[in-house]
Amino acid sequence: ALQALIFDVDGTLADTERDGHRIAFNQAFVNAGLDWDWSIELYGKLLAVTGGKERMRFYLDTYRPDVRMEDSTIADLHKAKNQYYAQLLERGGIPLRPGVKRLLTAARAANLRLAISTTTTPENVFALLANNIDSNWFEVIAAGDIVPKKKPASDIYDYVLEQMQLPAANCLAFEDSENGLISAMAAGLTTIVTINDYTQNHHFDRAKLVLSDLGEPDRPCQIIQGDTQG
């Protein structure tokens, strides 16, 4: 029987990328005197690489091959970016996606266990939850560099299952991206995808269900792929 729900954060609990992380990255770049400016379109391409530090390295390798930068400088930029991100969330900048709080509340009422499995930095998860949900609702919050390989590797989901001492067959994962789906499926998890602007053209063939979002009573979700039987 179903015992636990495991949630991705960025793009799944909230649309944090375009108006959150992206803006914060750009603030960190300006503040460091760099002329990098990540447009909405460019950021969509950069999202192919998960992890903020890894994403900056990918940007350098791909678009600025002339620039040499130490890992420690990238780490400093990343810290600054996360501070801007936290400030942005404190101002109440980013709401949860439709249906997220409703599903979490219903799951708790049904005694389902809850966990988080994300590539983002732990502080960013707490910053997002702070304005929205009690972080104690989640038994495990697995995030960032806690595992060696970020999504699409299965590591972060394997870690959550291990911590919860649950077989994948008794859990359901919620994701928004192809990298996230690959990661969850590699850990053996049945996965429901809620798409967003950045991920709507990703391949989700192996997902159990692909939805526009989790919906609200007055604004039902659209089923993009999959059926409601089984």
Report if residue 8 touches Mg ion, rule: CB under 5 A. yes
End-to-end CA gap in the chain: 13
**b or e along 17-56 (b: 16 or more beta carbons within 10 Å of the residue's beta carbon)?**
bbebbbbbbbbbbeeeeeebebeeeebbebbebbbbbebb
Q: From residue 17 to residue 36, what is the string marking binding to ligand XBP with x (rule CB under 6 A)?
A: x---x---------------
Query: Residue 218 catalytic?
Result: no
Distance between CA atoms of residues 84 and 79, nearest Å: 9
Q: Which stretch binds ligand XBP (CB under 6 A): 2-10, 35-43, 58-66, 159-167?
A: 2-10
Report if residue 50 touches ligand XBP, rule: CB under 6 A. yes
Report if residue 196 touches ligand XBP, rule: CB under 6 A. no
Query: Residue 176 catalytic?
Result: no
β-pair type (113-118, 209-211): unpaired
Q: Which stretch binds ligand XBP (CB under 6 A): 45-53, 107-115, 127-135, 165-173?
A: 45-53
Distance between CA atoms of residues 64 and 184, nearest Å: 32
Q: Which residue number places its CB atom closest to ligand XBP? A: 52
Instruction: Give catalytic residues, as residue numbers.
Output: 8, 10
